[in-house]
Amino acid sequence: FADGPLAGRHVLVTSGPTHEPIDPVRYIANRSSGAQGTAIAAALRDLGARVSFVTGPASVAPPEGVEVIRVETARQMHEAAMAALPADAAVMAAAVADWHVANAADRKVKKTRDGTPALDFAENPDILHAISHAEARPRLVVGFAAETDDVTAHATAKRDRKGCDWIVANDVSPATGIMGGAENAVTLITDAGAEDWPRLSKAETARRLAARIAEALA
């Protein structure tokens, strides 16, 4: 693939959930499988890109032929993503926890007679916002938005708020079966407006997105 349309390009992809420790044996997580981010990294690789794949603890295996950087927490993902710059493009597909436990214990929390433990939360870094405002900002920054209503309006507002170039928005209402499923139906938000893509496999969605990225960087 050394002669693909993305040959010589470096693309950062974040993927998967993050785990936020409560103590050494417990954590808070989310249901992201990492399937869409993994498919995107594979599709970019297939077009010849060098891919830095920063992944939380996903339930699908990372693709072959990419540089895999495994992290656990949002703070580690932030560090790894920034360290992967410079890049020509960044695709931020991770489901990053909004908060971490500020009073995480360094020993296992024990059951006691005097009540249940209280968790204090602190905000995590917004990695997409940070990459979009980095000194070495990639030429194309793509974020994701999982919405359940007013998908285009919310995703367009998110694009402005985060400072990224594109948002890949999907409707994750339970009725769509998209969350955790094999298919996706996305709306691509660019500066030219909103484009509804048909319902496709996550692999095909990834191939289309990779092709659009190659066009944009050409």
Integer angstrom CA distances of residue 21 from 18, 58, 113: 10, 16, 23
CB of 207 to ligand C5P, least distance (A): 19
Beta strands in 129-177 (DSSP E): 140-147, 166-171
**DSSP string across 14-49:** EESB--EEEETTEEE-----SHHHHHHHHHHHHTT-
Residue 94 or 186 with smaller CB distance to ligand C5P: 94
Neighbour count for residue 164 (Cβ, 10 Å): 25
CB of 43 to ligand C5P, least distance (A): 17
Binding residues vs ligand C5P (CB under 6 A): 14, 74, 92, 94, 96, 124, 126-128, 143-145
Beta bridge partners of 195: 188
Residue 89 or 127 with smaller CB distance to ligand C5P: 127
CB of 149 to ligand C5P, least distance (A): 14
Residue 88 or 126 with smaller CB distance to ligand C5P: 126
Annotated binding site for CTP: 98, 108, 125-128, 144, 158, 162
Residue 98 or 108 with smaller CB distance to ligand C5P: 98
Cα-atom radius of gyration of the chain, to the nearest Å?
Answer: 18
> What CA–CA distance (Å, rounded) separates 86 from 134?
10
Beta-carbon contacts of 55 under 8 Å, excluding residues fewer than 6 positions away, are 14, 15, 16, 34, 37, 38, 62, 68, 69, 70, 71, 94
Annotated binding site: 98, 108, 125-128, 144, 158, 162
CB of 9 to ligand C5P, least distance (A): 20
Residue 117 or 179 with smaller CB distance to ligand C5P: 179
CB of 171 to ligand C5P, least distance (A): 14
Look at strands 26-28 and 20-23 and give their pairing.
Answer: antiparallel
Kind and range of the H or E element at 155? helix 151-162
Residue 30 among the catalytic residues:
yes
Positions annotated as catalytic residues are 30
